[in-house]
Amino acid sequence: MNLLLADDEPLMLQILNAYFLKEGFQTLLAQDGEEALDHFYNNHIDLAIMDWMMPKRSGVEICQEIKKTSRTKVLLLTAKGSPEDEFLALKSGADDYVRKPFDPRILILRAKKLLQLSAKISIGDLTIDLEGQKVYRGGEDVLATHKEFQLMKYLVVNKGQIVTRKMLLDQVWGFDYFGEERTVDTHIRRLREKIGEHRIKTYRGMGYCLEVSDE
């Protein structure tokens, strides 16, 4: 899923980006309101997490703009803490509101709730247990290896979208991996054997996509 992160504090942006990348999200970063809007108009965004106070245009203004033309979920971050501020944030169309400082793990849970990503995700006869790190087919554990589960998790979070080998290598094997890209193909083949050949589609020259239209 595509996540827009907007905050004028570089360190905060870096921390949030690291946490959400680890969870398998694809992120777009902005340090001011205009950059955030530019990302919104040029990319498909599933969730926008924005600081209220940003240069050029505020998070509230961006939220109002987003809600005029889309159903994109918006979560506002702010150091403001009065009931009136919370009222103004939600009145602007924000789906949720989190006060600073906060635990990034809590923010991730709130984001997943907005996106309806529960601890267990069902796709047809498949169940992906994100906490237990297991994949079940027809109620039976397919005995996915650690790498196979991480691949499945990334594909599930980005279901319906094409992900490249480079994305999978970065998120599953790590950014410092310097081995053969084709190792992804081998692991995808083994995962297909366990969950069903038809579920992961190959887009030649582009990457892979977890197809859900037939479920």
In this structure, are 107 and 8 located in the same domain? yes
Same domain, 107 and 138: no
Helix or strand run (H / E) with residue 215: none
How many alpha carbons fall within 13 Å on the CB side of residue 190? Answer: 14
Statement to judge: residues 79 and 148 lie in one domain: no
Task: Clarify whether residues 7 and 106 are in a common domain.
Answer: yes
138: left (phi over 0), alpha (psi -120 to 50) or beta: left
Same domain, 8 and 106: yes
Q: Distances from the Cα of 144 to the Cαs of 134, 147, 182, 196, in angstroms?
A: 7, 8, 19, 13
Q: What is the pLDDT of residue 214?
A: 46
> Residue 215's pLDDT is what?
46
pLDDT computed for residue 166 by the predictor: 85
DSSP string across 46-75: SEEEEESS-SSS-HHHHHHHHHHH---EEE
Task: Kindly state whether residues 27 and 55 are assigned to the same domain.
Answer: yes
Question: Considering the domain boundaries, does residue 215 fall inside one?
Answer: no
Count: domains in the chain? 2
Please report the pLDDT score of residue 50 as a whole number. Answer: 92
109 and 124 fall within a common domain: no
Q: Which of 108, 95, 154, 119 is nearest to 15 (CA)?
A: 108
- Residue whose structure tokens are 């997943």: 112
CA distances (Å), origin 19, targets 7, 10, 78: 15, 14, 19
- pTM summary value: 0.62
Q: Does residue 12 fall inside a structural domain?
A: yes
H-assigned helices in the chain? 10-22, 33-42, 59-69, 83-91, 104-114, 146-157, 165-168, 183-195
Run means of pLDDT, 10 residues per run, the chain, 215 residues: 89 91 87 92 88 88 87 85 72 83 86 78 84 88 92 86 86 74 88 91 90 61
CB 160 within 8 A of CB 203: no
Q: SS3 of 88, please?
A: helix
CB 49 within 8 A of CB 72: no
CATH code, domain carrying 179: 1.10.10.10
Predicted local confidence at residue 213, as pLDDT: 59
